[in-house]
Amino acid sequence: MGNDGGSIPTRRELVKEAAKALTTTQVKEVQNEQQEYAWSHDPLTRKPLSRPVVSDAAGVLYNKDSIIEFLLAEDGAAKAEQEKMLEGRVKSLKDVVEVKFEIDSGEEAQAQTANGGSGRKERWVCPITGRELGPGSKGVYLVPCGHAFAGSVVKEVSGETCLQCNEAYAENDIIPILPITPTDIARLSLRTKTLKEKGLTHALKKAPGSKKRKKNAEKEANGVDANGEGVKSKDPSSGEEKKSDKKEKAKSVEVPKNGIKNASTASLTRKVLEEQEQKNKKRKLEQNDNVKSLFSSRDAKPKAGNSADYMTRGFTIGGR
């Protein structure tokens, strides 16, 4: 069983040295490899990136076709694995922004040769400096227009309008592409949380189902409810209204069935209707004398003459 046929080696004898942590150089090499792959391949399908290219709130690049296929795909093991990669950042096309890269067509063949024909076929450059955007240089894009530049250009150029389309943008809407520094990752995470509280997506569009909630919240904050009426502050000491007060209010203002809302007109109409109803009752009780004569009363007693023997009825016997 042992190495020499009779001894059994222990773990201490087999494992002489503990695993060593990676050095700084090795960590940088691993990061560079990951960055090169992420800048040239789609993480969902592992296919080379090709326009149109989109990015989520974390600055990760995808093929737009793969995002659409993911959103349309049915639930299954493949979609569950892709959802794990996306970490819940993409629920619709409003959660991604199309990144518009400047293409250097003269270096396309050279880039294809350098990538061995298996990576991205286009060479993306900054439209201002002409430098290549990739793992070696920090690239950023602007929301909502999506134009990509070198990070140093956006910092140096003063102003809050895009250099390509002159569309306005905020300082917080400068998104680093595939960030690796903890500062950039934390800033993007905070930006996503802030936009979610405002009911907005990464593309600064309204999130599905957040319009009504935001509108109602603003009205309630201004003292107006969803129906446009004033919101009364509830006083716990006042409590609910008494039932007697509610009944008195209902009696004081009664709206008839005909829809009359004026109080005086409604009361007058009610009196007229009551008098008319009493007259109708009396009219029904009083019958015509001619009709009464056709019927005999139950309380009437028969006449004495009619009670005589029917044999002698109608005849008179003379006296002796």
Does 286 map to a domain? Answer: no
Does 275 map to a domain? Answer: no
Does 197 map to a domain? Answer: yes
**pLDDT, tens only, 14-34:** 777 766 777 888 888 888 899
Structure tokens at 47: 């296919």
Task: List Cα–Cα distances, 231 to 216, 225, 236, 285, in angstroms.
Answer: 12, 6, 15, 57
Phi-psi region of 240 (alpha: psi -120 to 50; beta: other; left: phi over 0): beta
**Chain centroid to CA 16:** 59
- The model's pTM is 0.59
**Chain centroid to CA 114:** 46
Nearest in space to 98 (alpha carbons), one of 70, 149, 64, 49: 64
Does 233 map to a domain? Answer: no
The range of the structural domain enclosing residue 122 comes to 24-212
Does 269 map to a domain? Answer: no
State how many domains the chain has.
1
Structure tokens at 138: 């920090």
296-303: list long-range contacts, CB under 8 Å, 24+ apart: none
**pLDDT, tens only, 110-167:** 544 344 456 788 899 999 999 999 988 889 999 999 999 999 888 887 678 899 999 9
